Amino acid sequence: MSGLRADIEFRRPDFTLRAEFEVAPGEVLAVLGPNGAGKSTLLSVLAGQLVPHRGRVELDGASWLDTDRGINVPTHRRGVGLLAQNALLFPNLTALENVAFGPRAAGVRKAEAREIAVHWLSEVDVSGLAARKPGRLSGGQAQRVALARALAANPQLLLLDEPLAALDVDAAPAMRGLLHQVLRRQEKPTVLVTHDVLDAVVLADQLLVLLDGCVVEQGPTREVLARPKEAFTARVAGLNLVPGVAAADGISFGDGAISGRLVEALEQGESAAAVFAPSAVAVHRERPNGSPRNAIPVRLAALEPRGDVVRVRGVARNCSLAADVTPAAVADLRLTPDDEVWFVVKAAEVAIHPTSGGSSGA
Ligand SMILES: Nc1ncnc2c1ncn2[C@@H]1O[C@H](COP(=O)(O)OP(=O)(O)OP(=O)(O)O)[C@@H](O)[C@H]1O
């Protein structure tokens, strides 16, 4: 089979990681989980830096690791491209020389390695910085060069380890948008470790949630996040996420629509999601008349006290949604599970993100 297949069991005295997954060529798998869940351990096993007690890792049918057969291909022969939190560029080389380094190390002639580097610097939108050394690059620019360097080596497998975590709030969205563009053109499998659910929404086709070394959720990103089974996933998701397809000023979602702010340019019909916070949602018994706000029909599932507010959970066309309202509002509206209500949210509070994957989910 082509793509990545892994079945791993890694033990430490107080910790065991068990995970089994496949990532098809061109697909992105996001691994999400709290501190200590085992995300870095999993990446290190894929990269060959840690050897598990039991396991198999295969890429395009070639075995990288098979503990039963005593196979363990060393890191430098796995063809893994790694983008870490920090760019880790060679300080004495220019951006261009940093990117050309991988091809040169693989025996490509100087002029050709330079051409490859020029191509990848342009793919990540930093052609103008080719002659600069890392000391004169911003964090976001350095991370783009590091991405170009990882891709220029023509890796069999791309590993992204919290690639946006060290960027400031201005640089992270731009880099996320760039990764979205670059990864959708990739033909190799990618594994992305992240704390940020938005990275999974925008970049990943598949999502694997780890808790204490165990896989607690696994499946298409939008399905897992729209219908989280685990409280942890619902909490990290923390945001309402409605999968659909891009429409004029938002998404269409079944026979309804949700308007919002486009985070990136989107073509109509492209797969997209509307993302908004539970605190932005008001709950109404009747559909508000003549209001420009979004109104989504919801069947209530549960009411959970959370500090000063009550989290009202409901389901709209198979998608779990949450609203945070005051206890007084819950009492006024006499909300109880199974009620049919309207979740109302202003378009200005809704972000429309492109999402990975071909299926519309609408
Ligand atoms: N070098 C090590 N030696 C011993 N135990 C370790 C080592 N590295 C990690 N651990 C432990 O293994 C478990 C998994 O850690 P891991 O770093 O894979 O988690 P993580 O999900 O990447 O966490 P974070 O989000 O904090 O980076 C944790 O219990 C951690 O304390």
Q: Look at residue 62 in the predicted model and tell me its pLDDT.
A: 95
Banded model confidence at residue 306, pLDDT cuts 50, 70, 90: confident
Instruction: Give the residue among 158, 123, 160 at the shortest CA–CA distance from 26.
Output: 158
Structural domains in the chain?
A: 4-232 (3.40.50.300), 239-354 (2.40.50.100)
Question: Pick the residue with more confidence: 251 or 357?
Answer: 251
Distance CA(362)–CA(345), nearest Å, equals 19
Q: Which residues have any ligand 1 atom within 6 Å of their CB?
A: 12, 15, 33, 35-41
Ligand 1, atom 16, lies closest to the CA of 38
Ligand 1, atom 4, lies closest to the CA of 12
- Measured from the Cα of 193, ligand 1's closest atom is 22
> pLDDT for 13-34, tens place per residue?
999 999 999 999 999 999 998 8
Q: Look at residue 361 in the predicted model and tell me its pLDDT.
A: 38
Banded model confidence at residue 243, pLDDT cuts 50, 70, 90: confident
- Measured from the Cα of 213, ligand 1's closest atom is 14
Task: Ligand 1 pocket test: pick from 9, 11, 16, 35 the residue with the most ligand atoms within 8 Å of its Cβ.
Answer: 35
Q: Look at residue 298 in the predicted model and tell me its pLDDT.
A: 94
Q: Which residue shows structure tokens 């509307």?
A: 274
Q: How far is the CA of 141 from the centre of ligand 1 (A)?
A: 29
Question: Pick the residue with more confidence: 69 or 306?
Answer: 69
Banded model confidence at residue 253, pLDDT cuts 50, 70, 90: confident
Q: Look at residue 359 in the predicted model and tell me its pLDDT.
A: 41
Q: Look at residue 168 in the predicted model and tell me its pLDDT.
A: 84
Helices (H), the chain: 39-47, 95-105, 110-123, 139-152, 171-185, 197-203, 221-226, 231-237, 327-333
Tell me: pLDDT of 358 over 80: no
Over range 59-77, report the average pLDDT: 94
Handedness of CA 103, 126, 150, 137 (dihedral sign): positive
User: Tokens standing for 245?
Assistant: 């397809």
Banded model confidence at residue 10, pLDDT cuts 50, 70, 90: very high
Q: How far is the CA of 68 from the centre of ligand 1 (A)?
A: 25
Q: How far is the CA of 20 from the centre of ligand 1 (A)?
A: 19
Average pLDDT value over all residues in the chain: 90
- Measured from the Cα of 41, ligand 1's closest atom is 18
- Measured from the Cα of 210, ligand 1's closest atom is 21
Global pTM reads 0.80
- Measured from the Cα of 38, ligand 1's closest atom is 18
Tell me: pLDDT of 182 over 60: yes
Q: How far is the CA of 13 from the centre of ligand 1 (A)?
A: 12
Banded model confidence at residue 41, pLDDT cuts 50, 70, 90: very high
> pLDDT for 70-100, tens place per residue?
999 999 899 899 998 888 999 999 999 999 9
Banded model confidence at residue 357, pLDDT cuts 50, 70, 90: low
From residue 26, alpha-carbon distances to 203, 251, 268, 353 in Å are 12, 25, 23, 20
Banded model confidence at residue 231, pLDDT cuts 50, 70, 90: low
Q: Look at residue 177 in the predicted model and tell me its pLDDT.
A: 87
> pLDDT for 107-142, tens place per residue?
999 999 999 999 999 999 999 999 999 999 999 999
Tell me: pLDDT of 261 over 80: yes
Tell me: pLDDT of 5 over 90: yes
Q: How far is the CA of 213 from the centre of ligand 1 (A)?
A: 10
Distance CA(49)–CA(304), nearest Å, equals 44
User: Is the complex ipTM more than 0.90?
Assistant: yes
Q: Look at residue 283 in the predicted model and tell me its pLDDT.
A: 95
